């Protein structure tokens, strides 16, 4: 779990610098009408953190396998209006939510990592879910934020 915590900490230190180096037009530009801007991608990462905080906690005390509920990612981004919100607000939210995730991970007992969740088509462990959270974050960061041509 230390690798996951270290990676999340790395992105918490790196992403604010990346965003602060971008012009407002670059941050707010939607490459296509149905594609998210850089601000909205960061907002989506906040939404992912919010949903996963809930999952990471509930899987530890609810009946197993804990059933993972999906959420409408586009609606979350639209309804929270990340496009019009100040970048600093979204960055601070990202930092706070991921600090909470690190706290949760740090307090999971070793046996808790093997707790099961139902992700729809199969069952996975809490450890897998934690790694998947980081993989999802890094997918968006590497493919959309750092290399905007692949957005």
Average pLDDT over residues 56-71: 96
For residue 73, the model assigns a pLDDT of 97
- Within 10 angstroms of residue 146's Cβ, the number of other Cβ atoms is 13
The DSSP secondary structure of 81-93, one letter per residue, reads TGGGS-HHHHHHH
Task: Specify the pLDDT at position 149.
Answer: 45
Q: Are 29 and 104 spatial neighbours (Cβ–Cβ below 8 Å)?
A: no
With the CA atoms of 86, 90, 95 and 98 taken in that order, what torsion angle do they form, in degrees rounded to the nearest 10?
A: 170
Please tell me the pTM assigned to this model. 0.95
Residue 81 — left, alpha, or beta (φ > 0 → left; ψ -120 to 50 → alpha)?
left
As a whole number of angstroms, the distance between CA 25 and CA 74 comes to 21
- Quick one: pLDDT at residue 148? 52
The tens digit of pLDDT for each residue in 79-118 reads 999 999 999 999 999 999 999 999 999 999 999 999 999 9
User: With contact defined as beta carbons under 8 Å apart, do 65 and 116 qualify?
Assistant: yes
Average pLDDT estimate for 66-82 = 97
Domains contained in the chain, CATH given: 2-150 (1.20.120.450)
- Report d(CA 2, CA 8) in Å as an integer: 10
């Amino acid at each position: 779990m230390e690798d996951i915590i270290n990676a999340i900490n790395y992105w918490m230190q790196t992403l604010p610098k990346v965003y602060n180096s971008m012009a407002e037009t670059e941050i707010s530009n939607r490459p296509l009408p149905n594609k998210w801007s850089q601000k909205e991608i960061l907002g989506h990462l906040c939404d992912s953190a919010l949903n996963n905080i809930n999952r990471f906690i509930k899987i530890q005390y609810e009946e197993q396998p804990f059933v993972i509920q999906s959420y409408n990612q586009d609606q979350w981004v639209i309804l929270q209006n990340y496009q019009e919100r100040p970048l600093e607000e979204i960055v601070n939210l990202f930092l706070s939510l991921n600090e909470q995730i690190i706290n949760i991970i740090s307090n999971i007992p070793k046996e808790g990592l093997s707790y099961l969740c139902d992700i729809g088509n199969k069952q996975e462990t809490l450890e897998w879910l934690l790694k998947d959270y980081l993989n999802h974050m890094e997918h968006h960061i590497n493919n959309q934020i750092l290399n905007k041509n692949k957005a």
